[in-house]
Amino acid sequence: MTTVAQDTVMYREQDGIKSFLLDDDGCDCHSTLSMGHAMCADSCDDTYGNCKIKGGVDKLSDRQETGTAGAGEQCTGPAEDHGLMLYYYHPTAHVDVDSAKDAQKTYGSITVDGTKYEKFWWFSNGAAWPTGKKDVLGDSYGDCKSSDEVCFQKLPEVEEKGLLLLAVDDQGNQFEWKFDSSNEVAHAAFKAFRYGTTTQKASGTEWAPRVIKGSVTKSAQDTLMYRDQDGIRSFMLDDDGCDCHSTLSMGHSMCGDGCSNTYGNCMITGGVDKLSDTHVTGTEGSGSACTGRRAAFGVNVFFDQPQTTASRSTTMLHEEALTDEFRSPR
């Protein structure tokens, strides 16, 4: 690496190319990050780079060397004969390079009121409970295929602050929640969806959804459970920890620390309930007083993570040897 202080940044247009340079004096030479067109002060100088080259990158350790395609009379400059890859690191949401490809997977999106939400979890109407699945949040983001009838993925590597959760069922309901680390119920939900952290029972301040479409139970959504029931790790957000008046109900029917046929069908291995569960019976998943989870409902769950300055500011950079991956097809 050059020993000259990296104390000057330019990000501006040069000969029609908006380019970036981090170096010691704003003139190509002794740079670390040099991307786009060669630049020197408010123009370009063939002493420090080849001004005839439209754009490229320079190596991270640029010193007074010549003899390359991008070289000027005294120094190398950005050109096509170097390769560069940039990565980022956030201390609370680390994405390692090996998992980056899976983290970039998408499964479809929905735009509501100008906000685009990305799908990460779903249970299709009529789907059979998948063989071998024992946890409604047991898969890592990137494990599922878009063609799967059922997908039990956790959230990708996102921050809790500002994060939105959108659930859509096949009964015409659309509910949105905003995560809040100061709300015990909301925070327990985030830990479950993001990390798979179980909660036997969390009760506190109501974590009410915003009703975009449909109707919601009038009972406060102030209780959350994410625990094992009859071999299935299941999730429920409702008013008292007993199936009925729930909004998010996924997996096996639950009531207290067990299951009650009054509030759901304990014989069903697992499924989902509609988002607006009230005192309605007569369906496959019903108990004697309420509907419960079953395979004849469908639910899709989405997220939106507003981009913040903090998530962009901490950056890890890595340069690799030039390979065919960097070269444009000739």
* Calpha distance 183→157 (Å, rounded): 21
pLDDT at 144: 94
* Regions of the chain where pLDDT drops below 50: 94-103, 308-330
Summarize pLDDT for 75-130 with one digit per residue, the tens.
888 888 888 888 877 665 544 444 444 445 789 999 999 999 999 999 999 899 99
Tell me how many degrees the CA angle 246-248-249 measures, rounded to the nearest 5. Answer: 80
pLDDT at 237: 97
Distances (CA, A) of 204 to 162, 207, 239: 20, 9, 10
Tokens 């019976």 correspond to what residue?
Answer: 281
* Calpha distance 221→235 (Å, rounded): 13
pLDDT at 262: 86
* Calpha distance 242→233 (Å, rounded): 15
pLDDT at 315: 34
Alpha helices in the chain (DSSP H): 100-103, 184-195, 309-313
pLDDT at 111: 95
Predicted structure pTM score: 0.62
Q: In what order do the strands lie in the sheet with 199-203?
A: 199-203, 223-229, 232-238, 248-251, 271-272
Distances (CA, A) of 303 to 49, 114, 116, 154, 288: 46, 14, 9, 11, 34
